[in-house]
């Protein structure tokens, strides 16, 4: 038995077993990454797709993902690789690679506008060791590194990765503990992660607006006010300049009991956020 310290769940994993995320296991009494160097997705994407609007706009980035996730969002776009039955089968079908091979692939794409590597698609932080090793290698090669995450990892993981990451997009899925519990997450963990992340690199936030869940003006006002009050490591006020992406929900996966978010709702909530934040973008509209 070993206790995992990567996220708020603190899974106690029996020998030969796996944690809740499906990507961390216990081997010889130690917690290990089961998805190290295993890819389920690799694509050259526009940087705006991450989404990052104020970090090298117009560029491309080689994006990669593995399997596993420590949340259970019923509207997950990438459930096939995050927490489907196939993904939870430990991804024996996933492609094997190395940090060096990925960096070379990124370098080979430079003539197509590639600026580096993005760790995305599933929840990358549950396999943070591979990110650390690959991002360090990428940085040495003169490439940039991007992390797309739900932000529910311990800040100790952030300290390990911080020196190698240039930009993050972090999901701030809502602003109530009750909504985060519905998704299998923890709001305070995400808030602590964001507080530290904005002190380490360029950060943009994304909030998916789900009808009947997190679509009230009051919640958006509370969320954007909190973001606006974030500070740098030296205490400088930087929150109002943190970009927020307000995104439209579409029914999918296990949440097909409601219609897509009305476009006017997304636009109205974006206007609410602009009361406090300088850079607010609408998505999926």
Query: Is 143's pLDDT higher than 90?
Result: yes
Residues with Cβ < 8 Å from 279, sequence gap 6 or more? 53, 54, 241, 242, 243, 244
Tell me the DSSP string of 70-126: S---TT-TTHHHHTSTTGGGTTTTSEE--HHHHHHHHHHTGGGTEEEEEE-SS-GGG
Q: Residue 94 has what pLDDT?
A: 79
For residue 167, the 8-state DSSP code is E
How much of the chain, in percent, has pLDDT values that exceed 70? Answer: 98
Of 59, 74, 55, whose CA–CA distance to 242 is shortest?
Answer: 55
Of 228, 227, 235, 267, whose CA–CA distance to 248 is shortest?
Answer: 267
* Chain-centroid distance, C-alpha 148: 3
Q: What phi and psi, each to the nearest 5 degrees, are found at residue 211?
A: -55, 130
Q: What phi and psi, each to the nearest 5 degrees, are found at residue 181?
A: -65, -35
Q: What phi and psi, each to the nearest 5 degrees, are found at residue 195?
A: -55, -45
What domains are defined for the chain? Answer: 2-283 (3.20.20.70)
Query: Is 93's pLDDT higher than 90?
Result: no
Q: Residue 90 has what pLDDT?
A: 59
Q: Residue 84 has what pLDDT?
A: 74
| Sign, Cα dihedral of 56, 60, 66, 70 | positive
- Which tens digit of pLDDT belongs to each residue from 23-36? 999 999 999 999 99
Whole-prediction pTM value?
0.96
Q: What is the mean pLDDT of residues 138-164?
A: 97
Query: Is 86's pLDDT higher than 90?
Result: no
Q: Residue 79 has what pLDDT?
A: 84
β-partners of residue 64 are 42, 119
3-state helix, strand, coil in the chain (%, to 5): 35, 25, 45
Pick from 24-28, 77-81, 204-208, 238-242: least confident: 77-81
The confidence band for 245, taking pLDDT boundaries of 50, 70 and 90, is very high
- The answer to whether 128 and 135 are in contact (CB under 8 A) is no
Mean pLDDT of the chain: 95
| Of 91 and 184, more confident | 184
CB-count exposure of residue 136 (10 Å: 0-12, 13-18, 19+): middle
Residue with tokens 């992390």: 147
- Which tens digit of pLDDT belongs to each residue from 152-173? 999 999 999 999 999 999 999 9
| Of 129 and 84, more confident | 129
Query: Is 91's pLDDT higher than 70?
Result: no
Q: Residue 75 has what pLDDT?
A: 94
CA angle at 254 for the pair 222 and 189, rounded to the nearest 5°: 35
Residues with Cβ < 8 Å from 268, sequence gap 6 or more? 217
Q: Residue 199 has what pLDDT?
A: 98
Query: Is 21's pLDDT higher than 70?
Result: yes
Q: What is the mean pLDDT of residues 233-253?
A: 96
């Amino acid at each position: 038995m070993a206790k995992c310290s990567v996220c708020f769940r603190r899974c106690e994993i029996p020998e030969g077993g796996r944690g809740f995320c499906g990507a961390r296991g216990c081997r010889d009494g130690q917690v290990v990454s089961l998805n190290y160097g295993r890819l389920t997705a690799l694509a050259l994407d526009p940087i705006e797709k991450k989404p990052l609007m104020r970090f090298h706009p117009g560029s491309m980035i080689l994006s990669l993902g593995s399997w596993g996730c420590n949340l259970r969002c019923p509207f997950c776009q990438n459930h096939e690789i995050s927490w489907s039955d196939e993904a939870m089968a430990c991804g024996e079908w996933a492609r094997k690679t190395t940090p060096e091979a990925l960096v070379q692939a990124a370098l080979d794409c430079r003539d197509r506008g590639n600026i580096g590597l993005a760790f995305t698609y599933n929840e990358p932080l549950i396999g943070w060791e591979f990110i650390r090793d690959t991002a360090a290698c990428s940085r040495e090669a003169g490439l940039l590194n991007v992390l797309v995450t739900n932000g529910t990892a311990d800040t100790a993981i952030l300290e390990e990765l911080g020196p190698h990451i240039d930009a993050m997009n972090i999901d701030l899925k809502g602003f109530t503990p009750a909504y985060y519990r519905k998704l299998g997450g923890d709001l305070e963990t995400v808030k602590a992660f964001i507080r530290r992340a904005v002190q380490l690199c360029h950060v943009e936030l994304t909030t998916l607006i789900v009808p009947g869940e997190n679509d009230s003006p009051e919640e958006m006002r509370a969320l954007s006010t909190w973001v606006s009050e974030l500070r740098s490591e030296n205490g400088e006020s930087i929150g109002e300049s943190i970009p927020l992406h307000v995104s439209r929900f579409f029914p999918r996966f296990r949440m097909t009991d409601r219609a897509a978010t009305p476009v006017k709702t997304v636009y109205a909530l974006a206007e609410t956020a602009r009361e406090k934040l300088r850079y607010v973008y609408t998505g999926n509209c």
